[in-house]
Chains A and B, each alone.
Chain A
Amino acid sequence: MRGRGYGLLAAALLCWAAGSYAGAAYRLPFPPPSEMRSPLNGAGGDMLALALGARRVFADLWFVRLLQYYGKKEARVSSDQPGHETHEHRVDEHGRTHCDHGANYGKGEYPSFLPMARHILEVDPSFTAAGLYGAASLAFNMERPAEAEELLRYGLKYSPKEWKYLTVLAAIGYSNAQNPAAVAEAIKPLLSEPDCPVMLKQLAAFLNKRAGNLAAAAAIYADILATSRDEFYVRNAERELRKLAWGPGGRP
Chain B
Amino acid sequence: MRKYAALVASVALNSFLEGARSRFFTMFAVFAFTAVYASVLAGVMAVDQEERLLGDFGLLLTELTTLAYLLFNASSSLLREAETKTIYLVFSRPVPRSAYLAGKLAGALLTGAMMLLLMGAVHLSLLHFRGFGLPPFYGWALAGIFLKLCVIVSFAFFVSLFSTSAVSTLVISAIMWTLGHFAAEARFLAEEAAGFQGALLGLLINLVPNLQLFNARDAAGAAAALPAAALLPAAAWTLACYFAGLWLLSRKEF
Interface residues of A, Cβ cutoff 8 Å to B: 1, 4-5, 8-9, 11-20, 22-30, 32-34, 50-57, 60, 63-64, 67-68, 124-130, 197-198, 228-230
Contacts and interface: CB of A to CB of B under 8 A. Distances in A.
Contact of A22 (B49, B232, B242): B232
13 contacts: A1-B250, A9-B243, A23-B229, A29-B219, A50-B181, A52-B178, A53-B211, A60-B57, A64-B46, A125-B221, A126-B222, A128-B221, A197-B48
B185 A33 contact: yes
Interface residues of B, number: 56
A22 B243 contact: no
Interface string B150-174: 0000000000000000000000000
A55 B218 contact: yes
B217 A16 contact: no
A11 B243 contact: yes
B48 A126 contact: no
Interface SS, B side? helix
Interface string B200-244: 000001100111110101111111000101101111110111111
B47 A229 contact: yes
A53 B215 contact: yes
Interface centre among A11, A12, A27 (most CB of B within 10 A): A12
Contacts of B178: 51-52
Contacts of B57: 57, 60
B113 interface: no
Interface centre among A14, A56, A228 (most CB of B within 10 A): A56
A60 B219 CA distance: 14
Interface of B: 43, 45-50, 52-53, 56-57, 60, 64, 178, 181-182, 184-185, 187-189, 192, 205-206, 209-213, 215, 217-223, 227, 229-230, 232-237, 239-244, 246-247, 250-251
A60 B53 contact: yes
A181 to B, nearest CB: 26
A27 B227 CA distance: 11
Contact of B48 (A14, A23, A228): A228
A56 B217 contact: yes
Nearest to B47: A230
A2 B173 CA distance: 28
Given A5-B251, A19-B237, A32-B188, A56 B209 contact: no
A129 B213 contact: no
B224 to A, nearest CB: 8
A52 B48 contact: no
B48 A53 contact: no
Contacts of B50: 229
A26 B210 contact: yes
Nearest to B222: A29
Nearest to B224: A29
